[in-house]
A and B are shown apart, each in its own frame.
Chain A
Amino acid sequence: MNPSDRPGNRDDEQIVLSSVDEFLAWGKEHSLFYLLFATACCGIELMQAGGPRYDVDRLGMIPRATPRQADLMIVAGTITHKMASRVRTLWEQMTEPRWVVSMGSCANSGGPFSKWSYSVLNGIDKYVPVDVYIPGCPPRPEALIDGVMALRDRVRRYRTLGERDTTPHVVAGHDAPFGGHCKVPDFGKPPEGKA
């Protein structure tokens, strides 16, 4: 049998109709290149998320060394007042559409430094618009992936001519497995007699 005669392989069956924006959003959602940028211990979890165990590469997330090639900025760690203007510069160097994930308590609100520190910024959202907040100190890689999943929902809804969703999204607590955003399979009760 000629391969082109197999069902679904004919030329007239190879056409899918879509809107341009939907097609672009589909592409963006599956290739969220992120800026390799970390300022504190959240960066360790970010690296772990990129490592072989969690491997965010499979989500199309490839680290980029320059903001000009990045779609997503993951603010991972404590931001001081001195650093904040640099973060803003990096964000301005990214091309539209650009997304920001605030990872961990420090980037969300100053974290443990918010009360007694003179130098730490109380939340990166004072300098750049944040799309997704991930709580945790630091959040586990699962929580980061959960935040990325929440962001992917938003990227999928992005339309070039439409109005952009600017309401920040907060993912669930870091101790919930996959934060509750992803479906966790129900394994049922553990067998009797096992702790």
Chain B
Amino acid sequence: MKALAFDAIATAVQARFPAVLVQKADNGQMALRVPKASIVDVAHFLRTDAQLAFDGLSDLTAFDTLKYPSTPPQDDICVVYVLFSYTHRHKVLLKVHAERAACDVPTVSGEWPAALYFEREVWDLFGVRFVGHPSLRRIMTPDDWEGHPLRKDYLYPATYNGVAHLRDGQHFEAAPPRSGGPL
């Protein structure tokens, strides 16, 4: 067992995949920015390499970069993979950017079966289509829900199932925009 620091992990990955970039977040957290097309290869390398051996997918989540204070402004959906090695007790963060319009990322469920549920959640809430996922269905919201709620440009539904979302006489001035009906 030998835990590696982030720099050593980044060097090992970049030696094999030169397109992978090192990214530092505003809070100082280090991550590897992986091109969308090579995420499965990188994931396979990280899991099977003896020095790295990332045998656990701790989390797979996403965030919307729209309205993010960055120059130039972005509107990508960023998928985040939190990997942990039970063998070596080290971890790493991967980030994959997917374009907002054609939002598809290859699935990593072939490497970590835990990704099956995480990817359903990210599909449900962010609308990232994971190519190759065997059963990409909604998991949180009802099956007939429209839109992906955690996107920054999501329009709140005015009604669902014929039931108005606001009570009679209830109105909010600064609430998020809702499709149809008055605020």
Contacts and interface: CB of A to CB of B under 8 A. Distances in A.
Contact of B170 (A82, A116, A122, A127): A122
A120 to B, nearest CB: 9
Contacts of B140: 82, 119
Contacts of A109: 167
A114 B154 CA distance: 17
B176 interface: yes
Contacts of A122: 165-167, 170
Interface in B124-183: 140-142, 149, 154, 156-157, 160-161, 163-167, 170, 172, 175-176
Interface in A56-98: 81-82, 84-85
Contact of B167 (A81, A82, A118, A123): A123
Contacts of A114: 166-167, 170
Q: Is the interface of B mostly helix, strand, loop or mixed?
A: loop
A121 B141 CA distance: 13
A127 B167 contact: no
Contact of A115 (B141, B142, B172): B172
A116 B167 contact: no
A126 interface: yes
Contacts of B170: 114, 122
A119 B176 contact: no
Interface size class of B (residues with CB under 8 A): 10 to 19
Interface residues of A, number: 16
Contact of B163 (A115, A119, A126): A126
Nearest to B176: A116
A115 B167 contact: no
Nearest to B147: A118
A135 to B, nearest CB: 15
Contacts of B156: 118
B166 A81 contact: no
Contacts of B142: 81-82
Interface string A105-117: 0000110001110
A84 B149 contact: no
Nearest to B167: A122
A118 B161 contact: no
A81 B161 contact: yes
A119 B167 contact: no
B175 A115 contact: yes
A82 B176 contact: no
7 pairs of A and B residues whose beta carbons are closest in the complex: A82-B142, A81-B160, A126-B163, A118-B156, A118-B149, A122-B167, A115-B172
Interface of B: 140-142, 149, 154, 156-157, 160-161, 163-167, 170, 172, 175-176
27 contacts: A81-B142, A81-B161, A81-B163, A82-B140, A82-B141, A84-B161, A84-B163, A110-B167, A114-B167, A114-B170, A115-B172, A115-B175, A116-B175, A116-B176, A118-B156, A118-B157, A118-B165, A118-B176, A119-B149, A122-B165, A122-B166, A122-B167, A122-B170, A123-B167, A126-B163, A126-B164, A127-B163
